[in-house]
Amino acid sequence: MDFFEQFNLPVAKAICYSGFRDGQQPGGITPLYAEVKEDLLILQQHWKYLRLYDCDEHAETVLQVIEKEKLDFKIMLGAYIEAEINNPDCPWGGGVYNEGQLERNKISNGKKIIRLIEYANQYPDIIFSLSVGNEACVRWTDHLVSVESVIEYARLVKKSAKQPVTFCENYVPWLNKLEPLAEVVDFISIHTYPVWEYKTIDEAIAYTQSNFDAVANLYPGKPVIITEAGWATNSNGRGIPPENVNEKYQKRYYEELMHWSEKRRVLTFFFEAFDEAWKGSPHPLEPEKHWGLFYADRTPKIALAPQ
């Protein structure tokens, strides 16, 4: 049984949405109601399912807009849990904190999980699933959390909210490290990025399929979805060869991924809706800033440009 059948949901397209515009960022200035409404009116032309990363002020605004404007969206809401243990293996050196910060993070994470539950119960007709973290167990993360802690969060949410619970993570940890967590969550959410693994556009869709099948074959009794897969449109060479990314390649990967996910009935959240200037390093061609299907000014890239 696939995800849609398991949870009695309609088959439709999905996208990761973070609405922070130029000059805005998590923990700082957040998008206004009118800005979120503008975004959602754009997104409703293509997608029904949206993934939100944290139960913060931005997420609350999104939920309010959907409710008040009576928009036809279903939300996967996440709690963005932060580092509870140090990770000296983080390649950009961001994974090591003092003990006081780690303790503060753990307290904050607990509060986020409570807020996740509160939003789930406040908006049961809009929020269709809940994630207790994002890329917090993979080897290279800068916000490492133990598998045991994630299991504890998942159990708490399952006990207190009716929506199915998951954890969003790169496909690799699901192949070994996260097997105990797989027994607890209601479904498995994987991330697959061929371009970050130095694959060309010609290799991309087959690599994505192999990543998905490796996880799905390991857990035949558990629905598996993709909560991130995408293609950047610029790179300064940091982690992605510049020749491997452009708008034409993004369009091809998007179309091939949508065709495959529709054929296989796999809920697939494309990453992501809009370019976000706050991400990554200050370099203007930093890849993290250029994953959107729309530019930061909300004009479409080639993948979604009118024909």
Contacts with 5 (C-beta within 8 Å, 6 or more apart), sequence order = none
Tens of pLDDT, residues 251-285 = 999 999 999 999 999 999 999 999 999 999 999 99
pLDDT at 307: 73
| Measured CA distances, 210 to 169, 214, 217 (Å) | 16, 6, 10
For the residues 153-168, what does the mean pLDDT come to?
A: 98
How many other C-beta atoms can be found within 10 angstroms of the C-beta atom of residue 107?
9
pLDDT for res 275:
98
* Digit-coded pLDDT (tens) for 9-31: 999 999 999 999 999 999 999 99
For the purposes of burial, counting CB atoms within 10 Å of the CB of 284, is it exposed (0-12), middle (13-18) or buried (19 or more)?
A: exposed
Q: pLDDT for 180-209, tens place per residue? A: 999 999 999 999 999 999 999 999 999 999
* Angstrom distances, CA of residue 24 to CA of 29, 52, 58, 233: 5, 16, 11, 21
pLDDT in tens, 77-117: 999 999 999 999 999 989 999 999 999 999 999 999 999 99
Distance between CA atoms of residues 22 and 294, nearest Å: 13
Chain-centroid distance, C-alpha 116: 16
Output the CA torsion 78→84→85→86 (10° steps): 80
Mean pLDDT of 163-191: 98
Average model confidence (pLDDT) across the chain: 97
| pTM over 0.85, yes/no | yes
Indicate whether 287 pLDDT > 80. Answer: yes
Give 124-147 pLDDT, tens digit per residue.
999 999 999 999 999 999 999 999
pLDDT given for residue 6 in this prediction = 96
CA-CA distance, 281 to 234, in Å (whole number)?
Answer: 13
32-66 per-position pLDDT tens digit: 999 999 999 999 999 999 999 999 999 999 999 99
CATH class for the region spanning 3-304: alpha beta
Residue 171: pLDDT band by 50, 70, 90 thresholds? very high
* pLDDT score of 1: 75
CA angle 17, 126, 298 (to 5 degrees): 25
Would you kindly state where each structural domain of the chain is located, as residue ranges? 3-304
Do 59 and 120 meet the contact criterion of CB atoms below 8 Å apart? no
Residue 2, pLDDT > 80, answer yes
pLDDT range class, residue 306, cuts 50, 70, 90: confident
